[in-house]
Amino acid sequence: MTDCHVVILCVDPDDAARARTTAALADAGFETHEAASVRGAQAALDDADAPPECVVTEYDLPDGTGLDLVRAVREETPDTACILFTATTLDEVDTAAFGNVVAEYLLKDVSDAHDELAALVEHSLTFLSQTSYPLPTDEGVRLTALDRYTTVPAALDDALDRLTTLAGSLFDVDSAFVSLVDAHHERLLACHGPTLENVPRENSVCTYAILEEGVTVVEHISDDPRFASNELLAALDVEFYAGASLVTDDGQAIGSFCLMDDEPRSFPAAARDELLLFADEAMDQLELRRQIRELEGTAPNVEVSR
């Protein structure tokens, strides 16, 4: 039996089957909520004070499929564990239509299926807790805002490169970079200093920075319990971090303008104000290119005669 408070949403159009599933999960120590359809599940999610840690759903639902529901859940809360607990065989599940939507699968018409389900829920939650990272309360809205800026033209690379080079010199740090934070990774758009690859979000300091207003400063990385065991930061010899969020006009933090160095240091108020200016300029560049791209996409195709 689990020792922590975990909420599971059980979705099944069969009242008797849903009752058996919720009873089994309640016996295993989980709090359960119920729904009978995609629409009902979405209403339950909207009404909840916080998203469930896990969604357990039948595949065949009256207004869609379990994978429709999983995709909708992942758009709002990417790290919610999702399990197809279904009478539909795996061969009958239309996975091709859902791209990279991932869910655990368990056939429910077998002996001890509910015991296996409880164990699978425990396993899924344990795995997620080992790779989790803090999420904004409106993560789904933030990711939707981010989608408008994910196509970056080559011309923008040069503009951002100039900004990061200037920031690296002004603040006298090993590296300065501009990044976007998507559902699972921090994607670097420009970097001055040691070349960095795209970073898994659980290893990223910026995933914390986008939760805060203003400038996030970690003066001594290895002394901070959030990052003391971060092997990537240790390998890069990072001891100082400062980041200012890239904020859209509608208030969504989609990334950061960041500084890193191999020596701990303080970061006074004047420096924070200057870093905010760099972040604002980077966001202005992203917004300008987005508007240009939209105008080009809506411009009529005119054939010019010569």
Task: Break the chain into its structural domains and give their ranges.
Answer: 7-129, 143-298
pLDDT of residue 98: 59
183, 174 Cβ separation under 8 angstroms: no
pLDDT of residue 138: 76
Q: Give pLDDT tens digits for 203-241.
A: 899 999 998 889 999 999 999 888 888 888 999 999 999
CATH topology of domain 143-298: Beta-Lactamase (3.30.450)
Helices 66-76 and 139-147, axial angle in degrees (round to 10) = 90
Specify the DSSP element, H or E, that contains 252.
none
pLDDT of residue 196: 75
Backbone angles phi, psi at 5, to 5 degrees: -85, 110
Homologous superfamily of domain range 7-129? Response regulator (3.40.50.2300)
Question: What is the DSSP pairing of strand 240-247 with strand 215-218?
Answer: antiparallel
**7-129 and 143-298: same fold?**
no
* Cβ neighbours for 8, distance < 8 A, ≥ 6 positions apart: 25, 30, 31, 32, 33, 52, 53, 54, 55, 56, 121
pLDDT of residue 130: 46
- Per-residue confidence of the chain (306 residues) as pLDDT tens digits? 444 578 999 999 999 999 999 999 999 999 999 999 999 999 999 888 878 989 999 999 999 999 999 988 877 777 788 999 999 988 888 766 655 566 788 999 888 999 999 999 988 776 655 445 777 777 878 888 898 887 765 667 788 999 999 999 999 999 999 999 988 889 999 999 987 778 888 889 999 999 888 999 999 999 988 888 888 899 999 999 999 999 999 899 999 999 999 999 999 999 999 999 999 999 999 999 888 877 876 543 333 223
SS3 label, residue 177: strand
Specify the DSSP element, H or E, that contains 23.
helix 15-27
Q: Give pLDDT tens digits for 115-143.
A: 999 999 988 776 655 445 777 777 878 88
pLDDT of residue 23: 96
